[in-house]
Every structure is written in C-alpha cells, then in structure tokens.
A and B are shown apart, each in its own frame.
Chain A
C-alpha cells in the first residue's frame, strides 16, 4: 500500500457528477456529415492528403502537418470526402479553420491493421509505430500525440501512472470508462508498461468513486500476473493534473519547466490507454471518444461514445436536446473549459465534455471584479506553488519579463485562484493572455532573427558581387591599356566578317537592272 502525500494548494469542490452517471455509456449513431478540422496541434493549418471526392476508410490519413510531432489526421469512419469548408474549430478563439466534410457511407470499413495479440514479442519501435498509425493522441484534454510522448523519454521510465483521477466537476467520461471497460484499460496499461519497460505501473483514481474502484479491482483480480497497483487518491481539485498526481502518489516533484519524463515517470489517461489496447490488440484506429454531456441545459445528461467530427448540435440532440434553462455551452468543465457561441463545432480529440450550463449553475466568469486587496488567498491554493497575485500585477501592467520571473509559464490554468479570489478577479484569463503574448513575442523574436540572418547574407552577397564587378572592370581596363586584348581583335574580325557576308548577299543585282546587254 503506497503512502500518499498531499500536493500544495488545491480546492475541495462539489463534484456534480452523479447527474451524468445514472445511465451507461451510449453509442451515438453516425451523423450525416462529419467535420474533421485540418488543424495541427500548434494551431497551424494541416494540408489535405487526398483530393476532394476520394473514398476513405476508417483510419485513412486525410490530413498531415509539417511537424513530425503532429499525428496524422485520420478519417473516423469510411465514406467520401465531400468538400473542404471553413468550420468553427473547438478552440477558445472561436475562429474557423479548413475542415474536411466526410459523408459516412455506413459501412464503417477500417484500414487493414493486423491485430497484434502477441505484443510482448514486438519491439518498442513496432508498438510505437502502431500507436502512430492508429492516430492516438491523449484523451485527457490536451491531445498530446501519444507516439511522440513514448518516443521522447531519454531516461528510462520507471513508473507508469494511468490517470483516472478525474478531478474537475461535472466530467465523468473517465469514470464511466473505468466502470464499464476496465479490462481494456488494464490491457492498454500492460502494453504501455511493456513498451516503456517501466518497473512500476499504477492506476490512480479518486477515493470517492466507489463503483469505478470496484470495477477496476475486480478486473485486476481477474488477471493472474497482477503487476498493476490500484491507488486511491483524495478527491482534491486538481489532483488529476499530472504533476499533482505524481506528487501525491510518489512524493516526487516535476521540476519547474520540466516534464514528468525528466524524473522517470509517464502519465497517460485511461481513455488513451483503452485506445492503445484497441489499436494493438484489435488493429483499430482511434476514431471515437467518450464525451460527457451534462448540465441543467440538456434534457438527458449522460456519457456518449461519439465519432470524431460529429457536430456538437447532433450530440446534444442525441441527448434529448436543450432545456429552457440552457444559457451557456462550455467545452470542458466549469474550471478549465471554454465557452463557445455556436454548436456547429465538431468533436475533436480534446473535447471531453459538453457542459450546457443553466444560469446560476456554475460560477459566473463575467462578474465584475474589484481591485486586488493583496490578501494572498490565490497563492494559498495554487497547486503549482506560484504567486498568482504578483503574476497578475505584472501581466496587467504589461511587464511580461517580471511575470516570467514568477514562473508564469508553469501555470496549468486550473482556475483554483479564480475561485478563491475575494475580489472575483479573472486571474486565469490574465495568465492565459500573458502566456499567449509570450508565445507570440518569442515567435516574433525568432522571425526577427531569421530576417536578420537573411539580411546579413544579402549584404554579403551584394558586397561580393560589387567586389567581383570591380575586379572584372579593373581587369578589362588593364587589358585595354596594355593593348593586348585578344577579345577586341576577335570582335573586330567578327564585325568585318559579318559586313563582308552582308555585302555578298546584297551584291547579286536583279536581272532587269543588269546592264542591258542581254535583251
């Protein structure tokens, strides 16, 4: 039995989870149109890999990026690529992007990926390759490409943590998966542990999710070689954040600016685990995910298994449609989610919840704020041990460098500080703004550096050509002065020759103008 530690800060929040766990996960039938955004993880456009009109199978790569870290964008089902449209992206900016319109043909024909039942005989590279081909990304919300995550650790991973600690209120998709398919999760965990050669594998979930704990324990007991340990963590928000979970379970802290792999640990979400199992054992590419549809604004809150590309409108309709209490549509939970203004948005890898909130259901993010009274409550709850107060002052007064000194980049945007602030200051929004500003500034400096190098190269080129010209001119001048310029002689010869030729052509006089001797 592992002894658990407490990570710094955090909040005790009302879960509001029962509302969506009353029914088992329902499979949603395919929509008439699936919209697959051609957007890479860094926000840049991906290019389409096939012409419009192509027929694709489930798992065919239809979009790709220039970045090797970016996974291929796969078709979620078989059908025809009807068109490319501008469609709203599931992104807080509300911007639209190039999107494939896929019309399913109902056959759901997959690409041929052989089932690798004996995965323990395969190399790590082969398994990572399969994960890449199946288009697997993290399903916990950040959508990080899983193959890249497994490829990157240079140090050995000693501990693999399967993250089932779903700490944000309202979200229950992981809990539902653990209740219904714990076997899949465990199989995926074994595959991942084998791949990473991890010495320890743990599955973590919150200690108040009794049904899930029961299901996973039963599944664990069924396996003969029980190398996975179940860990029950206290339900404190945000224990599901990987750095907080690592601290709780192992007592180790991920260094500032670092990743868990730096200290020999890797975390993967239970949903990702199940996807790995399907990909390796059944040869199934990642094509769908479980989404929690919840809130007072939807008639039948539940968990649904949705194909990627399904518009939100269809998902909500499948769950009974809107109630009259609906006021806000949030992608994600009440703490870290972002609200959207339309339901014509496709489900992508990063959408784990649709929270259709009623008017007083969640904390009002738009409420007017008062001046900061420097009470320090925000620093007391920050799970990353930052000083939100100081970061706030510096981001607000546009002193980003100072904010970086206070580790602005380490902020996980969990929203804990927002909840406790007595002045209702939207701190997390300030930090998001600061972080994007920082990213753009760094990008700007990189571009400036590139421009500077090109400019200097151009100067070198121009100087070189000036020098060449001057040298050539000098050479010609000296040759002229010396009088022994064969080129000029040749030119004169050529000119003479040409003139002679021309005269010969003109010389023959037409017969009638000849001397009248031949009448």
Chain B
C-alpha cells in the first residue's frame, strides 16, 4: 500500500516537473524544411508524387517520404539529403522516374499555334509568348521538368539534351576498380 502511494506521488511529481519544463522551454520546432528544400533541384515537376519541391521537402522532414524520389536531382541529390539527415544512401526509386541527363525544352515554331497552354503550365515562367503569337522557351531558365509537353495540343515541344561544352564538362573519374 505504501509502495503504491509512494510510487504514485513520485511519478506524478516527476510528470509535473516535465510538463513545467516543457512549457518553459516553449517548444517551437524550427523546421528543417528550408535546408532540405535548398538541396532539391526546384524543377517543380511533381515526379516525386508531391505538387512541387517544397511539399516534398516538408514530407521528408516529417519522415513521410523517402529521400530517393527525385529523378531530376538524381543520385547527387539523394547523397546530399542522406548527408544532411544522417541517413543511408539508397539508389533512386525507379517508380518515380529515371534520372535523365540535363535537358531543355524547345518549341518548333513551324507547328506552334499560339494557344498559351504551355505558358500556363510552366512552373518557372520560362516560356514567353501571348495568345495567337509565337511562343518560345527561355533556354537559360528552363529546368527540363517536362510539364509543358502534355498540354501542347499540336505536340510541338521537344526535349533536347544540353550539349557538352568545356563549361559543363565533367572530368572523368578513373576506373574505380583497382588491380
């Protein structure tokens, strides 16, 4: 009997202390969503299953989504995220798309009818044009997210791989296997 009494008093006391400290410390979690978002490629393509990069970052921070769902980011992004969050690297989840080399969209002006559907679809406003006037893609701003391809009614948008120049040339790594 005494035991039960003592234990109850003790535990209640400790719980009270905890509640007090919780209040005093006023927990407001500073989100690490920002840090995660800054590592994502910002194509806003939705291939990860979330409507944009920030929602995906939020999902990762809440541990609702895995870190390997971003094809435009490729393995680099998975590694960066793994490094940031102290997780293990895992290969890209093919279910969300395969990693493609950097690409930009290109409108074939012969076929464009000036419907503005692609302009409305582009998440970074990289297409300029107006209704019944020629549309064209600002190559420097295009992220290759492919969101403009489905809406085009005449299928005049192609994806071109970014050509290799000395500026974006990657010095090859020697053969990794030794002896």
By a beta-carbon cutoff of 8 Å, the part of chain A in contact with chain B is 39, 42-45, 89, 91-93, 95, 97, 368-372, 395-396, 398-399, 401, 423, 425-426, 429-430, 432-433, 435-437, 440-441, 443-445, 447-452, 454-455, 457-458
Question: A398 to chain B: which residues have CB within 8 Å?
Answer: 75, 79
Contact B171 A429 (CB under 8 A): yes
A395 CB contacts on chain B under 8 angstroms: 173
Of A425, A435, A440, A458, which is within 8 A of B178 by CB?
A425
CB pair A430 B173 closer than 8 Å: yes
The dominant DSSP class at the A interface is helix
Which B residues between 70 and 95 are near A, CB-CB below 8 angstroms?
75-76, 79-80, 83
Given A371-B178, A371-B179, A401-B83, A452 and B37 touching (CB < 8 A)?
yes
B170 touches A451 (CB 8 A): no
Contact with A along B122-142 (1 / 0, CB 8 A): 011110000000000000010
Of the candidates B42, B166, B173, the one whose C-beta lies within 8 Å of that of A43 is B166
Chain A residues whose CB sits within 8 angstroms of the CB of B173 once the complex forms: 395-396, 429-430, 433
Q: Is the CB of A437 within 8 A of B179?
A: no
Bound together, the chains give a CA A425 to CA B143 distance in angstroms of 38
Among residues 155 to 179 in chain B, which have CB atoms less than 8 Å away from a CB atom of chain A? 164-174, 176, 178-179
Contact of B168 among A43, A401, A454 (CB under 8 A): A43
Q: What are the 4 tightest A-B residue pairs by CB atom distance, in nearest-first order?
A: A43-B167, A43-B166, A451-B42, A454-B124
A182 to B37: give the CA distance in the assembly, Å: 58
How many contacts A-B (CB < 8 Å)? 104
Closest to B82 in A: A399
> Is B46 part of the contact surface with A, judged by Cβ < 8 Å?
no
Does B169 lie within 8 Å of A93, measured CB to CB?
A: yes
Assess whether A448 is in contact with B40, with CB atoms less than 8 Å apart.
yes
Cα distance A398–B164 in the bound complex, in angstroms? 22
A289 vs B179: C-alpha distance when bound (angstroms): 43
Q: How far is the CA of A370 from the CA of B179 in the complex (A)?
A: 5
1/0 per residue B24-61: CB within 8 Å of A?
00000000000001111111100000001100000000
13 A-B interface contacts by CB (under 8 A): A42-B167, A95-B165, A95-B166, A97-B166, A369-B179, A371-B179, A425-B178, A445-B38, A449-B42, A455-B42, A455-B44, A455-B123, A458-B125
Query: Would B41 and A444 count as touching, CB distance under 8 A?
Result: yes
Q: When chains A and B are docked, how far (Å) is the Cα of A458 from the Cα of B147?
A: 15
Q: Is A436 a contact partner of B178 (Cβ separation < 8 A)?
A: no
In the complex the two chains form, what is the Cα distance from A452 to B40 in whole Å?
10
Task: Given the known inter-chain contacts A44-B165, A430-B173, please indicate yes or no for A450 contacting B141, CB distance below 8 A.
Answer: yes
Are A454 and B125 within 8 A (Cβ)? yes
Closest Cβ of chain A: how far from B74's Cβ, in Å?
A: 9
Residues in B neighbouring A368, C-beta threshold 8 A: 179
> Interface residue count for B (Cβ, 8 Å)?
35
Q: From B53, which residue of chain A is reached at the shortest CB distance? A: A452
Shortest Cβ distance from residue A301 to the other chain B in the assembled complex, whole angstroms: 29
Chain B residues in 8 Å Cβ range of A399: 79, 83
Across the interface, which residues of B come within 8 angstroms of A435, CB to CB? 171
Task: Tell me the interface secondary structure of chain B in the complex.
Answer: loop
The residue in chain B whose Cβ has the minimal distance to the Cβ of A436 is B171
Q: Are B176 and A396 in contact (CB under 8 A)?
A: yes
Q: Which residues from B are CB-within-8-Å of A440? A: 168, 170
Nearest opposing residue in chain A for B83, CB measure: A401
Give the chain A neighbours of B40 by CB distance below 8 A: 448
CA gap between A493 and B41 in the complex, in Å: 58
Inter-chain CA distance A435–B170, complex, in Å, is: 9
The docked-state distance in angstroms from the alpha carbon of A391 to that of B34 is 29
Distance, CA A62 to CA B141, complexed state (A): 28
Across the two chains, which residue of chain B brings its CB closest to A454? B124
Residue in A401, A426, A451 whose CB lies within 8 Å of B43: A451
B143-A447 in contact (CB<8A): yes
**Complex Cα distance A145/B143, Å?**
32
**In whole angstroms, how far apart are the Cα atoms of A444 and B170 in the complex?**
13
Q: Chain B: which residue is nearest A425 at the CB level?
A: B178
CA of A398 to CA of B170 in the docked complex: distance in angstroms?
Answer: 14
* Cα A449 to Cα B38 with chains together (Å): 7
**In the complex, what residues of B have CB within 8 A of residue A430's CB?**
173-174
A275 to B150, CA, bound (A): 58
B124 touches A451 (CB 8 A): yes
Contact present for A436 and B170 (CB under 8 Å) = yes
- Give A93 to B169 CA distance when docked, in angstroms: 7
Which chain B residue shows the least CB distance to A396?
A: B176
Asked if residues B166 and A452 are in contact (CB atoms below 8 Å), the reply is no
Contact A436 B176, beta carbon cutoff 8 Å: no
Q: Closest A-chain residue to B142, C-beta based?
A: A451
Q: How far is the CA of A157 from the CA of B123 in the complex (A)?
A: 49
Output the least CB separation between B55 and chain A (Å).
Answer: 12
Give min CB distance, B57 to chain A, whole Å.
11
Distance (whole angstroms) from the CB of A407 to the closest CB of chain B? 18
CB contacts (< 8 Å) of B39 on chain A: these are 445
Contact A441 B76 (CB under 8 A): yes
The complex places the Cα of A91 from the Cα of B165 at a distance, in Å, of 10
Closest to A447 in B: B143
